[in-house]
Amino acid sequence: MKTCLGFMPISSAVLTAALCFCTSALAQGTTGTNNTSPASMEDYPDTVELDAFGGVSFIGEVNRGLGEKFIKGGTTGGRVTYNVSRHIGIELSYNFSINNVRLVTPIAPGLPTFDFHEEIHYPALNLVYNLKPRGSRFQPYLSAGVGVEFFKPHEYYEQLARQPAVDAIYHSANLGENTQAPAFNYGGGVKFHVSEHFGVRLDARSFTSRNPTFRLPNYDDGGIWIPSKQRINGFQGTIGIVMYLGHPKVPIIAPPAAVAPLSPGTITGGEGTLCQGKPITLHSTASDPAGHPLTYAWRLNGTPSGGNSADFSFTANNAGDFTVQVTITDSTNPARTVTSGPITLSVKEYTEPQITGVSATPNELSCAADTTGPHTASLSGQATGSACGGNLSYKWTVTEGSVTNDTSPNATFDASTLNFEGAQGQTKTVTATLTVADETGKSASRSTDIIVKCPPQFVRLPDVVFSKNNARVNNCGKRILIDEAAPRTSSGDYDVVLVGHRDTDEETNVRGARRRGRSEQTRALDEQRVLNCAAVLSGGGGTCARVDPSRIRVDWVGTDQTSTPDPGLCGTSARPAQKERKGAAVTQADKNRRVEVYLVPRTSPTMPPAVKNIKPLPESEVKALGCPR
């Protein structure tokens, strides 16, 4: 007599016996008197099966390392099966089992083996093949699937493994849960209908996956360890209660009733402004009173376009009129067809923005030096965009000077930022340009002119700085007067204006140089500093310049420091610095001991702000000074 069992592990033997039993049952069911006729196969509600089960669980040993052995345990869980056809079902299951773990070999002679309680959680998805059709009272089956196994030590044993005393011996602190995927299962069984909605299920199956290492080392480090990349095979035998859900009988199909015609609905989405280059999405509101699925065939300008969808999108790359229609068909009855449309869509062309006006108010301004006139102008622009251009952005630019609020239709130009130099009156024309752009990048520009007038301007040179209580012009000061001031008066456009100062910690007066036949004369310190500077400019001969004394005007203001000092310290001179005499060197600390030097246009009616009481140069007194050393 032929048998299906041979010499094999107990789990494989039991599984093989179950498969042989299923095959025998199938053969008997096809030849015996208990065969269920096709008419009665739908008498049982087998669409969905709910199965709660319990049983025993065996897992093989890993014969490497310390020997990872799983103790025989119990298992429980549940399954949900959806029978998609008379023989095929899809099954989602969850299996929970307890198989405690023992590392068979001690890590050292005299030490106990390392054991811990452990749980296995196994969700899986299986394909079920029923050897007899749905509805059979006696239904053997085969099943195979894949899932994920979660191996989790009991919390108590995790805590115990982390105790310092235990960890010091076993190096077990890392003991923890481990996940293995994929984990395969295969097997079979038999289901018995006890009543219309309830049954009994016997199941036997094998499990195979990689062995868990429980986060322990996979090599011998002196403590417990589990080699990785080994396989474990297991067996489960379970018995469960099945509840069947579904229609107990095939519903009687009534004769088809008269079906109302399709409703063509309308084509929506073409409202508002339609623009060249932008996607246009249309929607068909057609419907079927019978609720059957519909198919759609769109046409654009008479040409098939788009897909089988209630929505249709296209992009018009040119302006003009476009016609759209859609044919709707009942997918279950092609004879039921209706057409919606055609509709006409007018697509607009992109055009650049139009600037209708640009102005500057006022359009004539004065420079910063002229305090009598306006210095700012209000810039204003008006523009309109195309229907497809979107929002407009604004940008003002000027050929010279600065603009505030330059990204608004209304901005402000400030003429005081213009630079005017020279002894003659000047006029500058500044062009203000407004550029308007839309969201598509199209732009337009328009300009207006602003006239800025400026009278002749004075030029301030660096101050001549003196040492404390001293009126002598040192080498640094001479460089300012001789190298910078004197040459610029040669054109005849400028006069030189000198304004003297002294600091609050200096003496008020200073004694002038003694001259032959004359007594020593006492002067104010700031006055003497101005006269000495004038002598350097006009003394001629030696190291002095030859500026006409009539071109030099003077003032001295004592300790007044309302004008900002500009020590300069000769930094702008092209001549190399000369070593100063003892006591003549100066620093920034001497900045208030100074003479201001201005080049004032001869035609200018105004003086620099530092001047309080302008005076002509006392030529005889300056001439008596000669060329100071």
Identity at 246, one-letter amino acid code: G
pLDDT band at 325 (very low <50, low <70, confident <90, very high): very high
- Residues 393, 337 within the same domain: no
The domain boundary residue, chosen from 317, 348, 379: 348
Q: Token pair 């004032």 is at which residue?
A: 600
**What is the model's pLDDT at position 3?**
30
Q: Is the pLDDT of residue 116 over 60?
A: yes
Residue 305 lies in a domain: yes
Q: How far apart are the first and last CA of the chain?
A: 142
**What is the model's pLDDT at position 38?**
41
- Residues 62, 198 within the same domain: yes
Interval 388-415 mean pLDDT: 89
The answer to whether the pTM exceeds 0.85 is: no
CB atoms within 10 A of CB 505: 10
**Which tokens go with 157?**
């044993």
User: Of all residues in the chain, what percent are helix, strand and coil, respectively (each to 5)?
Assistant: 15, 40, 45
- How far apart, in whole angstroms, are the C-alpha atoms of residue 484 and residue 492? 15
Q: Is 134 helix (H, G, I), strand (E, B) or coil?
A: coil
* Residue predicted with more confidence, 523 or 569: 523
Q: Token pair 């654009």 is at which residue?
A: 300
Burial class of residue 244 (count of CB atoms within 10 Å of its CB; 0-12, 13-18, 19+): buried
Q: Is the pLDDT of residue 190 over 80?
A: yes
- How far apart, in whole angstroms, are the C-alpha atoms of residue 306 and residue 489? 85
- Residues 220, 106 within the same domain: yes
Q: Is the pLDDT of residue 59 over 70?
A: yes
| Domain count within the chain | 4
The domain boundary residue, chosen from 454, 469, 490: 454
**What is the model's pLDDT at position 281?**
92
Residue 571 lies in a domain: yes
Do 324 and 270 form a contact (C-beta atoms < 8 A)? yes
Q: What is the CATH number of the domain that holds 329?
A: 2.60.40.10
Interval 428-450 mean pLDDT: 89
Interval 353-382 mean pLDDT: 87
- Residues 74, 135 within the same domain: yes
Identity at 126, one-letter amino acid code: N
Burial class of residue 241 (count of CB atoms within 10 Å of its CB; 0-12, 13-18, 19+): middle
Q: Is the pLDDT of residue 573 over 60?
A: no
Interval 570-597 mean pLDDT: 77
- Residues 335, 368 within the same domain: no
- Residues 504, 482 within the same domain: yes
- Residues 318, 362 within the same domain: no
Do 192 and 137 form a contact (C-beta atoms < 8 A)? yes
If we measure between CA atoms, which residue out of 564, 411, 423 comes closest to residue 499?
A: 564
- Residues 449, 416 within the same domain: yes
- Residues 421, 501 within the same domain: no
Q: Is the pLDDT of residue 188 over 60?
A: yes
426: left (phi over 0), alpha (psi -120 to 50) or beta: beta
**What is the model's pLDDT at position 594?**
93
Per residue in 26-37, pLDDT (tens digit) is 444 443 334 444
* Residue predicted with more confidence, 389 or 93: 93
Residue 5 lies in a domain: no
- How far apart, in whole angstroms, are the C-alpha atoms of residue 358 and residue 410? 10
Q: Token pair 């604004």 is at which residue?
A: 394
Q: Strand 443-454 and strand 364-366: pairing?
A: parallel
Residue 1 lies in a domain: no
- How far apart, in whole angstroms, are the C-alpha atoms of residue 271 and residue 311? 15
162: left (phi over 0), alpha (psi -120 to 50) or beta: alpha
The domain boundary residue, chosen from 435, 454, 473: 454
Q: Token pair 């023989």 is at which residue?
A: 87
Burial class of residue 518 (count of CB atoms within 10 Å of its CB; 0-12, 13-18, 19+): exposed
**Domain assignment of residue 415, given as a range:** 354-454
Strand partners, 312: 282
Q: Is the peptide bond before 362 cis (omega within 30 degrees of 0)?
A: yes
If we measure between CA atoms, which residue out of 312, 328, 325, 323 comes closest to residue 280?
A: 312
Residue 67 lies in a domain: yes
Interval 518-533 mean pLDDT: 82
Percent of the chain with pLDDT over 70: 87
Q: What is the CATH number of the domain that holds 531?
A: 3.30.1330.60
**What is the model's pLDDT at position 229?**
85
- Residues 368, 469 within the same domain: no
Q: Where are the beta strands (DSSP E) in 392-512?
A: 393-398, 402-404, 410-414, 426-437, 443-454, 459-465, 494-500, 509-511
If we measure between CA atoms, which residue out of 143, 151, 141, 140 comes closest to residue 125?
A: 143
Residue 262 lies in a domain: no
- Residues 515, 613 within the same domain: yes
Do 208 and 183 form a contact (C-beta atoms < 8 A)? yes
**What is the model's pLDDT at position 520?**
55
- Residues 359, 426 within the same domain: yes
CA diameter of the chain:
163
**Which tokens go with 143?**
């099943």
Q: Strand 494-500 and strand 552-556: pairing?
A: parallel
**Which tokens go with 395?**
């940008």
**What is the model's pLDDT at position 324?**
92
Per residue in 471-519, pLDDT (tens digit) is 899 888 888 888 888 898 888 888 999 999 999 999 999 876 555 445 5
**What is the model's pLDDT at position 257?**
64
- How far apart, in whole angstroms, are the C-alpha atoms of residue 531 and residue 238? 123
Residue 492 lies in a domain: yes
Residue 4 lies in a domain: no
pLDDT band at 369 (very low <50, low <70, confident <90, very high): confident
Q: Is the pLDDT of residue 7 over 60?
A: no
Q: Is the pLDDT of residue 17 over 60?
A: no
Q: What is the CATH number of the domain that holds 394?
A: 2.60.40.1080
Interval 592-604 mean pLDDT: 89
Q: Is the pLDDT of residue 8 over 50?
A: no
**Which tokens go with 551?**
């071109």
Do 70 and 61 form a contact (C-beta atoms < 8 A)? yes
Q: What is the DSSP string of 498-543?
A: EEE---TTS-SEEEPPP-TTS---EEEHHHHHHHHHHHHHH--STT
Q: Looking at 3-12, 26-35, 334-343, which range is the least confident one?
A: 3-12
- Alpha helices by DSSP H, listed for 326-449, are none
pLDDT band at 65 (very low <50, low <70, confident <90, very high): confident
Q: What is the DSSP string of 70-95?
A: EPPEEEEEEEEEEE-SSSEEEEEEEE
CB-side neighbour CA atoms (13 Å) of 453? 10
pLDDT band at 455 (very low <50, low <70, confident <90, very high): confident
